[in-house]
Amino acid sequence: MPKASEQCACKGSRVKSGRPVQIVKSLTIPGAVVDSRSLNGGGMKSWIWLLALGCSTPAPEVPTPPPTPAVDVSKYTGIFQGPLPARWDRAGDPALEQKVQLGRILYYDPALSLNNDISCNSCHQLDRFGVDNQPTSPGHQGQRGDRNSPTVYNAAGHFVQFWDGRAVDVEAQAKGPILNPIEMAMPSEPEVIQRLSAKEEYKKLFADAFPGVSDPITYDNLAAAIGAFERRLSTPGRFDKFLGGDGAALTPEEVAGLDLFVSSGCVACHGGTLVGGTMYQKIGVVKPYETADLGRQKVTNAPADEKMFKVPSLRNISKTGPYFHDGSVATLDDAIRKMGEHQLGKTFTDAEVASIATFLGALDGEVDAAYIAKPAIP
Ligand code: HEC
Ligand code: HEC
């Protein structure tokens, strides 16, 4: 655990922590200043006590509180590296705007599904942090798979795609759902291409996105365009300001939750700028976890990969429930509790769960409304 002096993150300008300090100073009670600014609950008690005292005292003049030391952000940058990038360009391939625009249109186009009723956006809703908030999503004729739809925001930054990592990048990933019989259910790649080629608008859009290519409407190019669009679905937020060096970008309560997240060992798996998305780990490392899903073993057939899943990114996690690969965990609090128990062998108190949840709430970022605006569909 960090020392109390390191935890004390409040800035003089914060009203919440400033007020009791001011009363204390005017009453000149020694020691109480430190107490009321500490983050571990002691502050609250002195608050109440001082309020009671304050009632019988005429309102004193309020001096400006002294500046308090800012959080030393550098101790976190080793773990989380740095702020989110604005985009994850493919190596050596900064995409053309026309390719991104084509990807945006395809992402929203239900013509990529057999019954013309399901688009990528049906399950990964861009105005809902890239999810549908259901345990599993209805696809072709309402069928549901056995895995939860993860968010597409920041997905391009993960080391692999899908819960079991069976696609190497977002381009490879995009080829899957269109042909998946319970998702978009198109019978074959040629039928997808045939359908798109029948529309004049797509002929022009593909030609603009892939200039100089003689037959640009291909399944590979379709996936490349969707991938190019997804590579800019970044959601920077306050945590990025914090990682960028602004210690005041998080509240003292959020920093306390961050410290607990670090000291408990969550960062052994959920590290890096995405707070996850960098490795596979077993669900149930310390205490076995009940699930019928074999995870990565389905891909590799290796017994050692049983119940191994990609460690999910926790960016925007307060918005993307329900949780876990099967969507079986309804609340974030419960997900935190289960992680403590099964991954770390720790039983968190309610206060500890709440503290970590407060930090995780600070991982909410901003969606670029103009970037995700639904375009006209051909
Ligand atoms: C019927 C719902 C549904 C539709 C439609 C759908 N997806 Fe998904 N998507 C899922 C599910 C479920 C998963 C997780 C499956 C797994 O891991 O086995 C997933 C995984 C992903 C991932 C991986 C994210 C990560 O964290 O690993 C990306 C990216 C993605 N989908 C993009 C797309 C795109 C692009 C389209 C349209 C071409 C699309 N999806 C259509 C349900 C859907
Ligand atoms: C040993 C590695 C490991 C550790 C340590 C760990 N996690 Fe996880 N975490 C995972 C894996 C793997 C998953 C995916 C589990 C699944 O879906 O079955 C996950 C999933 C989650 C989820 C759900 C994400 C989602 O999109 O559904 C949350 C929230 C979470 N972890 C928070 C935490 C917290 C908080 C801690 C510390 C108390 C922690 N984790 C510690 C590996 C780990």
Task: Sort residue 31 into left (φ over 0), alpha (ψ -120 to 50) or beta.
Answer: left
Give the model's confidence band at 63: pLDDT under 50 very low, under 70 low, under 90 confident, else very high: confident
- Determine the pLDDT at residue 65: 66
- Determine the pLDDT at residue 67: 60
- Determine the pLDDT at residue 61: 75
Q: How far, in Å, CA of 119 to CA of 210, rounded?
A: 23
Mean pLDDT over residues 346-359, rounded? Answer: 98
CA-wise closest residue to 5 among 30, 35, 49: 35
| 183 given a catalytic annotation | yes
In the reported structure, the alpha carbon of residue 43 is separated from the centroid of ligand 2 by a whole-number distance in angstroms of 32
Tokens (6 digits) for 163 = 């819960």
Omega within 30 of 0 (cis) for the link into 322 = yes
In the reported structure, the alpha carbon of residue 149 is separated from the centroid of ligand 1 by a whole-number distance in angstroms of 6
Pocket of ligand 1 (CB under 6 A): 118, 120, 122-124, 137, 139, 145, 147, 149-150, 152, 155, 158, 161-164, 170, 173-174, 177-178, 183-184, 226
Is 186 in contact with 222 (CB distance < 8 Å)?
no
Tokens (6 digits) for 217 = 């409407």
The DSSP annotation for 57-94 comes to SPPPP-PPPPP-PPP-THHHHHHH-SPPPS--PBTTB-
pLDDT at 38 exceeding the cut of 70: no
Say which residue, 20 or 78, is predicted with more confidence: 78
Give the model's confidence band at 13: pLDDT under 50 very low, under 70 low, under 90 confident, else very high: very low
pLDDT at 349 exceeding the cut of 70: yes
Tokens (6 digits) for 161 = 């795609």
Give the model's confidence band at 15: pLDDT under 50 very low, under 70 low, under 90 confident, else very high: very low
**From atom 39 of ligand 1, which residue's Cα is the shortest distance away?**
120
CATH number listed for the domain at residues 97-234+368-372: 1.10.760.10
**Residue tagged active-site, from 61, 171, 183, 306:** 183
- For 178-231, what is each residue's pLDDT tens digit? 999 999 999 999 999 999 999 999 999 999 999 999 999 999 999 999 999 999
**From atom 35 of ligand 1, which residue's Cα is the shortest distance away?**
174
Pairing of the two strands 280-282 and 308-310? antiparallel
Superfamily of domain 74-84+237-361: Cytochrome c-like domain (1.10.760.10)
Q: How far, in Å, CA of 352 to CA of 279, rounded?
A: 26
Give the model's confidence band at 91: pLDDT under 50 very low, under 70 low, under 90 confident, else very high: confident
Provide CATH 1.10.760.10 ranges for the chain: 74-84+237-361, 97-234+368-372
- Determine the pLDDT at residue 68: 58
The rounded mean pLDDT for the chain is: 87
Pocket of ligand 2 (CB under 6 A): 264-266, 268-270, 281, 283, 285, 309, 311-312, 314, 317, 320, 323-325, 335-336, 339-340, 343-344, 356
- Determine the pLDDT at residue 49: 43
Of the listed ranges 90-104, 121-135, 284-298, 344-358, the least confidently predicted one is 90-104
